[in-house]
Amino acid sequence: MADFPTTARVVIIGGGVVGVSTLYHLAKKGWTDCVLLEKNELTAGSTWHAAGNCPSFSTSWAVMNMQRYSLGLYKGLAEEVDYPMNYHVTGSIRLAHSKERMQEFARAMGMANYQGLNLKLMTPDEAQEMYPFLETHDLEGTLYDPDDGDIDPAQLTQALAKGARQMGAKIERFCSAIGVTQHPNGTWTVHTEKGDIDCEKVVNAGGYYAQQIGEWFKPYGGRTVPMVTMSHQYFLTDEIPELKAWTEQNGHKVPLLRDVDSSYYLRQDKNGLNLGPYERNCKAHWVTPDDPQPDDFSFQLYPDDLERLEWYIEDAMARVPLLGTAGVGRVINGPIPYAPDGLPLLGPMPGVKNAFEACVFTFGITQGGGAGKVAAEWIVDGQTEWDMWAVDPRRYTDYTDQDYCHQKALEIYGHEYGMHFPHKMWPAGRDKKLSPVDAKVRELGGQMGAYNGWERANWFAKTGDDTSLQATETWRRDGPWRIRVQEECEAVRDGVGVLDLPGFSRFDLSGEGAAEYLRGLIAGALPKIGRMNLAYFPDSRGRLLTEMSLIRHAEDHFTLITAAVAQWHDYEILNDALPDGLTLKDITREFSTLIVSGPKARELFTAVGTDADLSLGWLTHQSATVAGTPCKLARVSFAGELGWEIHARMDKIPALYDAVLAAGATPFGMFALNALRIEKGYRAWKGDLSTDYTLLESGMERFIKLDKAQDFPGKAAIQSEKQSGRKKGFATLVLDNPGEEDAPYMSPVWANGEVVGETTSGAWGYRVNKSIALSMLRADVITPGAKVEIEIYGQRHSATVQEDQPLWDPRNDRIRA
């Protein structure tokens, strides 16, 4: 025990591929005084039994970045650390049974090739040439990824471990962590069976033990880790003589197949086949009292349960009849952790300082390399090269109870390859947080969507409208919602509309020095007392962390309002260095909001009765009574029309909503609000606004005050960028001849035969009757009137760069009326 480490900069709990990759990347960044703890041997959890597939494909820009990095790392890792690895780059073929699936493939191909990969669409005949055992008669097409393949998970983990050790990092195997203690200065002691280790930071890389480990952090602000462990089976066949002969003749394996519409992969393993379905009738383990999670499940499997897979086996044998000629050689049925959206938890641990999560990886082998890179950046730099909100643990808040996690895990696993259409709202795990007028909204026809667990109406259906889930399974803008969204937008344009908007994240900040504290966090100025404004919070690089609305009540008293999903993320920005004497409260659940917007909004308030001064100008706020009910009126409108936001306590919302409806307001939903905001060029957080872009690139120069005394984060970087000139810039694009689909997030934008940027959001604008895309383009391309092409689901559409002003009401006359 003399060599047991008692101090470290970082302690990582968990010795799977992600934990070891994090250790390796910390050492790469010069943090070699780090220790990894593993209760058994490395890979003993989910890693050892993983199939080891290595796709780059994803419809998430952030996840694709991680996977792309992983594959690049793995290609050179064996030579770098002198450790042999079985890494077979066979390429893969994804099969499409429908036009919609081909559109998904085309979108992913556009993102991938923009990142430097080389995916391509193929016909069924071209796929059959590469895979002669494949039946293709009913296929729409295929997607080929030449970089896909498989790797030995244990060898990969050991190679990363060897590299980490070579750089000076330590790995303690057969050393269980048994708890943690945080000290007043924020440092930690990690308790193990072999002794204590004092350290600066801790990482939960516990895989399917992550929830158990997470309980140790609850006394220091933590929460229950949102996850469920699923049973995933795959089986290996005996040797297939025809496959062996083909492999020997051609000198390589057949490509990996994924029949994503039937929901399985089929991979050559030596001279047999490996079939891995994601079955709809799937099963979670360790979720009931009669099936408790064991303290140690190292190198163990669940009993075989092939009956669950019968349909998938038969379908795969029809697709590749060769599969039916071989017997089953071995069945693997092991635990795989699932977060509610199937993506990992990677980043700062919510509510806990100096603690991080790198856990709940469903596809840890292909994501492990990139995950280690991202985790090391969070730990060392406090920020990441790519915006990683898609996997940030703070994306989940207080609604993720075990019922929610279980429902979503079953849904996500059973639809592992499901298409995430823009208007589809998945049904599992719903109704976790309800508005006080939820029943009324639904009675009016509200078709609901979940936003940080809060149910909001996306659109309002009328009698006879198709409200089935199947109707939403399209990439097209047209659907049963379109005419209703148009009517809602026209009501806001011509009369007055009301949107019930529960779940705005809101924080109360007060105490002597609160104003000065905020000045040191934001790039711009504070509003005057009685007024409000937008504030932008940069990181040290001048990139955009978040946007909040600041409402100033007194010299040192503010309400800060931000996106629903930003609740835990933005609270931490405000709380991270909160000085003594200031009070920060999360009051999200105490208040709700009604948006009342349209040219007749002032008439409506007069009709329902109010003591408010309706002549107060844009960006003012006041306490008032409306229809005899106390509330706060804020003169703002994300819809781009004359309007107010009514902020009131939860129990006051029903009376206000009834009064506004009775006065003639038309209820409208989130789909309409999105269309209205995009016509104004208003940016949405984590789409148009993210840490992928600087404040200057995002067009926020008017919100930057470089001459103020405070040295806010990123000030020097912004000054430098302003002097040298921004490399990219925000631009609004209008499609010249739009097709049936609007531009999704991260559609490549082309000019002169090369990609010059990407869209950040897109929608149809019903007031201007155009398909609009907000975008980030290379600076030299941003000339009003310039022609570009947007690649939308594989088809390029001509578009025109617009003037740097809103398309609707460019002088804001209607807002200020």
14, two tokens: 């968990």
Nearest to 671 by CA among 419, 464, 425: 425
Output the pLDDT for position 346.
Answer: 98
Rg (CA), the chain: 27
Output the pLDDT for position 61.
Answer: 97
The tens digit of pLDDT for each residue in 7-30 reads 999 999 999 999 999 999 999 999
Name residues whose C-beta falls within 8 Å of residue 410's C-beta, 6 or more positions apart in sequence: 282, 284, 428
Average pLDDT over residues 51-71: 97
Average pLDDT over residues 383-405: 98
Output the pLDDT for position 121.
Answer: 98
Residue 399 has pLDDT above 90, yes or no: yes
> How far out from the chain centre does Cα 19 lie?
21
The tens digit of pLDDT for each residue in 671-709 reads 999 999 999 999 999 999 999 999 999 999 999 999 999
Judged by DSSP in three states, 240 sits in coil
Residue 524 has pLDDT above 90, yes or no: yes
The tens digit of pLDDT for each residue in 66-89 reads 999 999 999 999 999 999 999 999
Output the pLDDT for position 369.
Answer: 98
Whole-number percent of the chain with pLDDT over 70? 100
Q: Both ends of the chain: CA-CA distance in Å?
A: 76
The tens digit of pLDDT for each residue in 606-664 reads 999 999 999 999 999 999 999 999 999 999 999 999 999 999 999 999 999 999 999 99
CA distances 331 to 51, 265, 275, 523, 529, Å, are: 12, 15, 10, 57, 68
CA distances 587 to 488, 572, 579, Å, are: 30, 14, 20
Output the pLDDT for position 619.
Answer: 97
Judge contact between 814 and 642, C-beta under 8 A.
yes
The tens digit of pLDDT for each residue in 719-753 reads 999 999 999 999 999 999 999 999 999 999 999 99
Output the pLDDT for position 215.
Answer: 98
Give the DSSP letter string of 702-725. Answer: GG--TTSSS--TTHHHHHHHHHH-
Side by side, which strands form the sheet with 544-554?
Answer: 532-538, 544-554, 557-562, 505-510, 583-586
* DSSP collapsed to 3 states, 779-797: HHHCCCCCEEEEEECCEEE
Binned at pLDDT 50, 70 and 90, residue 1 comes out as low
Whole-number percent of the chain with pLDDT over 90? 100
Residue 549 has pLDDT above 70, yes or no: yes
The tens digit of pLDDT for each residue in 261-293 reads 999 999 999 999 999 999 999 999 999 999 999
Average pLDDT over residues 774-789: 98
Nearest to 58 by CA among 416, 426, 451: 416
Q: Is 378 exposed, middle or buried (0-12, 13-18, 19+ CB in 10 A)?
A: buried
The tens digit of pLDDT for each residue in 214-261 reads 999 999 999 999 999 999 999 999 999 999 999 999 999 999 999 999
Q: What is the DSSP letter of 803?
A: P
How many other β-carbons are positioned within 10 Å of the β-carbon of residue 218? 12
The model's pTM is: 0.97
Helix 653-662 vs helix 601-608: crossing angle, to nearest 10:
110
Average pLDDT over residues 794-811: 97
431, two tokens: 């109704």
Q: What is the DSSP letter of 575?
A: H
The tens digit of pLDDT for each residue in 339-379 reads 999 999 999 999 999 999 999 999 999 999 999 999 999 99
| Cα(378)–Cα(29) distance, integer angstroms | 12
Q: Is 664 exposed, middle or buried (0-12, 13-18, 19+ CB in 10 A)?
A: middle
705-743 residues labelled b (16+ CB within 10 A) or e (exposed): beebeeebbbbebbeebeeeebebbbbbbbbeebeebbb
Residue 2 has pLDDT above 70, yes or no: no
Residue 324 has pLDDT above 60, yes or no: yes
- Report, in this order, helix, strand and coil percent for the chain, each rounded to 5: 30, 30, 40
Output the pLDDT for position 136.
Answer: 97
Output the pLDDT for position 717.
Answer: 98
